Amino acid sequence: MNDKLFDPHRYEATRRPLLDAETLPGACYTSEEFFRREVETIFMKCWNFIGREDRVPEPGCYFSLDFVGVPVVIVRGRDSRVRAFANTCRHRGARVVSGEGRCHTFSCPYHAWTYAIDDGRLIGAMDMEETVGFERKDFGLIELRLEIWAGFMFLNFDPEAEPLETWLGDLPQVLAPYDLDAMVTTRRVEYDLDCNWKVYVENAMESYHVPTVHQQTIQKQKRDHNPPIPASGQYCGLFTRHKGSRALLEGMKGFPHIPSLEGLSAEGTYYILLYPSTMFGLTYDCMWWLELHPLSAGKTRLIVGSCFPESTARRSDFAELAPNYYERWNRSIVEDNDVSNLQQIGLRSPFVAPGRFSHLEPLVHAIDNWVLDRVLDP
């Protein structure tokens, strides 16, 4: 069977139009071989969202992450620019930086080779003077592509990739009314999920599960279901028209609306999936993101970020009312996490077989086909 894992014929049923289509075979969610192909053809080639740049507010601030197994360090240089470096020592390959903090230089914990934070150049390497032809300038940390849109940082491992602007398409215009540049991150929470990254993305982009999974929380929000929004860029999205912030549970007190909202943004909430694996929720008074770091076929790290306009975060009642929002996310996100973990358990069964889609799952079908477009053999 596995020699056919990437054979396009095997996926003909998922390729059909939504209401004739079948869901992806279980192996797409459980096979390490399928996962490795996704890493190679998707995550190593795409613009991957890795958080807001306010995580490194001052020169010297840094954090490290291992993204699809690649150690990376993000640092704000003394020139205030944020850069990404491959976090692998040029001596014998140790991971140079762990955790997060603030520093003047990066020093490898193994033999203390020391690198500049601005350009990664090697500035110190003890006992190397007898090494024939060794020149420090040849052994700097390797810089990776990092681009920023409206305070959101994106990492790309592929030197040949198109610029972030092309990847985003018209998304910056669609979301312009939210004035995202003027938002600040007020909270960041990590969860470890026992599910495939696609399980989680699919869940985030369909409302079919809301009445059941979120019975006790966001189901109480009144909404109307609209078809996917038109998108020219590597994203897809839903817009729902309703009153009241989507980031609050019923009856909870919140903040004033973002003053710059206009057009659709003044009438409801956008749920955006920025391919491959970042979800943005944008509602009247704030935005939140779901950032996924795929670890293996069945393990994914989820990071949930909350952003409010700077003017809101400075309000004297911010500390009092922000927990109303945090409670909504704490509760509804755990509901999604739990059901996603259950789905993964079921998908591991030898009896798993493709299912069918409801008309409320157009984006699940779109996401699955987006993945197939990239991973299947030509």
Residue ranges in contact with Fe ion by CB under 5 A: 336
CA distance 144 to 36: 21
Q: At closest approach, how far in Å is the CB of 83 from ligand FES?
A: 19
15 binds, among ligand FES, Fe ion, none (CB under 5 to 8 A by kind): none
The CA-to-CA distance between both ends of the chain, in Å, stands at 18
* Closest distance of CB 137 from ligand FES, Å: 17
Q: Which does 94 bind (CB under 5 to 8 A by kind): Fe ion, ligand FES, none?
A: ligand FES
Q: How far is the CB of 348 from Fe ion (least distance, A)?
A: 22
**Smaller CB distance to Fe ion: residue 166 or 212?**
212
Q: Is 335 helix (H, G, I), strand (E, B) or coil?
A: helix
- Please name the residue that has the structure tokens 């996100």: 333
Binding site for ligand FES (CB under 6 A): 89, 91-94, 108, 110-111, 113
* Residue 111 binding partner per list Fe ion, ligand FES, none, with a CB distance cut-off of 5 to 8 Å that depends on partner kind: ligand FES
User: Which one of Fe ion, ligand FES, none is in contact with 147 (Cβ closer than 5 to 8 A by kind)?
Assistant: none
Nearest distance from residue 292's CB to ligand FES, in Å? 30
When the beta carbons of 47 and 113 are compared against ligand FES, the nearer one is 113
Backbone angles phi, psi at 205, to 5 degrees: -110, 20
Which residue is associated with the tokens 């998108």?
231
Residue closer to ligand FES by CB (options 35, 113) is: 113
Among ligand FES, Fe ion, none, partner that 336 touches (CB below 5 to 8 angstroms by kind): Fe ion
CB of 99 to ligand FES, least distance (A): 17
Residue with smaller CB distance to Fe ion, 285 or 336: 336
Q: Which amino acid is at 275?
A: Y
Min dist CB 212 to Fe ion, Å, is 10
Residue with smaller CB distance to ligand FES, 15 or 95? 95
Give the whole-angstrom CA distance, residue 171 versus residue 306.
Answer: 19
Distance CA 67, CA 292 (A): 10
Supply the DSSP string of 137-164, one letter for each residue. Answer: GG-PPPEEEEEEETTEEEEE--TTPPPH
Of 91 and 121, CB closest to ligand FES: 91
Residue at token pair 């205030």: 80
- Name which of 108 and 304 has its Cβ closer to ligand FES: 108
| Strands 235-241 vs 224-225: parallel, antiparallel or unpaired | antiparallel
110 binds, among Fe ion, ligand FES, none (CB under 5 to 8 A by kind): ligand FES
| Matching residue, tokens 């019923």 | 250
**Residue among 139 and 326 whose Cβ is closer to ligand FES:** 139
Rounded to the nearest 5°, which phi and psi values hold at 226? -110, 160
- Select from Fe ion, ligand FES, none the partner in contact with residue 301, using the beta carbon and a kind-dependent cut-off of 5 to 8 Å: none
Taking each helix axis from N to C end, the angle separating 197-204 and 318-347, rounded to the nearest 10 degrees, works out to: 120
Residue 113 interacting partner from Fe ion, ligand FES, none (CB closer than 5 to 8 Å by kind) = ligand FES
Stated as kind and residue range, the H or E segment containing 212 is helix 210-213
321 bridge partner residues: none
Which of 72, 66, 115, 117 lies closest to 90 in space, CA to CA? Answer: 115
CB of 113 to ligand FES, least distance (A): 4
Q: Are the C-beta atoms of 291 and 197 separated by less than 8 Å?
A: no
Supply the minimum distance, in Å, between the C-beta of residue 94 and ligand FES. Answer: 4
Q: 24: closest CA among 371, 362, 341, 374?
A: 371
